[in-house]
């Protein structure tokens, strides 16, 4: 099935976001190969994911990425969803992945996020642009009331993105599997709207996707 056909049967796949330097399209199965090839070795994947004895490290990581993709859409509901975007530069090269999640969206309207970039694309503001893109989607179009995120204390780049976009530190927790400390942060909708940062983002393909987020029902 081509991209237009996929977006017709599952309109969430028609969603696209643009910032000054990057384009974010909802990940499709056809992106998995390029995403797995681009995935840097330092990006930590789900520690709870299934492991397969006999696979080398690269194949094992690719399997985790693929199952993460299928799980996201296979278990989607308006109550709890997870949305992966592939981030590309102007020439169409894959630069990374940005996730936006609403794990209890119907009850709390709070979104979470996570992301990675290829090493060569880090440190020049693209991490901020891709987070800005999904925050604008969440606050301006999906009625989110707050965004939360977290990163280990050693992850200065991730914490830097969050703090420079206005998130405030809330609390810390301990990661059993690695022994590291996780910093949790939160950004309120009012702070986002006041910042005006979302003006640099354009969103397309939204209308058909809204029912999948529990929105857009004029009869409700
Ligand atoms: C996290 C990541 C996506 C951030 O993207 P990035 O493009 O490197 O970050 P940016 O260039 O947009 O920087 C954003 C802010 O953080 C600051 N920052 C970036 N790297 C930093 C570092 N190593 N130390 C301190 N501050 C840093 C920047 O100064 C900037 O703040 P400012 O605009 O107020 O100056 C990217 O570094 C990455 O892929 N890291 C590996 C994967 C990962 O750890 N993901 C997070 C797990 S959820």
Residue 76: the pLDDT is 98
pLDDT value at position 219? Answer: 65
**Can you give the pTM of this predicted structure?**
0.96
Domain ranges of the chain: 3-210
What is the distance between the alpha carbons of residues 120 and 190, in angstroms, rounded to a whole number?
34
Atom of ligand 1 nearest to the CA of 123: 11
Query: Does the beta carbon of 151 sit less than 6 angstroms from any atom of ligand 1?
Result: yes
pLDDT tens sequence for the chain (220 residues): 888 888 899 999 999 999 999 999 999 999 999 999 999 999 999 989 999 999 999 999 999 999 999 999 999 999 999 999 999 999 999 999 999 999 999 999 999 999 999 999 999 999 999 999 999 999 999 999 999 999 999 999 999 999 999 999 999 999 998 899 999 999 999 999 999 999 999 999 999 999 999 998 766 5
3 state SS of 173:
strand
Is residue 135 lining ligand 1, measured as CB closer than 6 Å? no
* Adjacency order of strands within the sheet including 168-174: 168-174, 181-188, 146-152, 110-117, 94-102, 81-88, 23-26, 16-18, 202-204
Name, in order, each residue with C-beta under 8 angstroms of 177's C-beta and a sequence gap of 6 or more. Answer: 47
Closest CA to 126 of 22, 32, 5: 22
CA distance 216 to 100: 19
Region of 154 (left: φ > 0; alpha: ψ -120 to 50; beta: rest) is alpha
Ligand 1 neighbour 43 (Cβ under 6 A): yes
User: Domain spanning 3-210 has what CATH number?
Assistant: 3.40.630.30
**Residue 127 Cβ contacting ligand 1 at under 6 Å:** yes
116 lines ligand 1 (CB under 6 A): yes
What is the pLDDT at residue 5? Answer: 86
């Amino acid at each position: 099935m081509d991209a237009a056909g996929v977006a017709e049967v599952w309109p969430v796949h028609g969603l696209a976001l643009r910032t000054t330097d990057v384009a974010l399209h909802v990940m499709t199965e056809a992106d998995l190969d390029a995403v797995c090839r681009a995935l840097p070795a330092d990006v930590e994947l789900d520690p709870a994911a299934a492991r397969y004895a006999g696979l080398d490290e690269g194949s094992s990581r690719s399997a985790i990425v693929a199952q993460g993709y299928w799980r996201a859409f296979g278990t989607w509901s308006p109550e709890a969803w997870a949305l992966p975007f592939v981030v590309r530069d102007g020439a169409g090269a894959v630069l990374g992945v940005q996730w936006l999640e609403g794990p209890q969206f119907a009850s709390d309207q709070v979104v979470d996020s996570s992301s990675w970039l290829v090493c060569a694309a880090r440190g020049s503001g693209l991490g901020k642009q891709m987070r800005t893109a999904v925050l604008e989607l969440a606050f301006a179009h999906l009625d989110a009331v707050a965004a939360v995120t977290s990163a280990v204390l050693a992850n200065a780049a991730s914490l830097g993105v969050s703090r420079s976009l206005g998130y405030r530190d809330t609390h810390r927790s301990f990661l059993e599997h690695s022994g590291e400390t996780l910093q949790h942060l939160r950004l309120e909708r009012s702070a986002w709207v006041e910042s005006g940062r979302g003006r640099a983002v354009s969103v397309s393909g939204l209308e058909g996707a809204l029912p999948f987020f529990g929105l857009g029902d004029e009869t409700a």
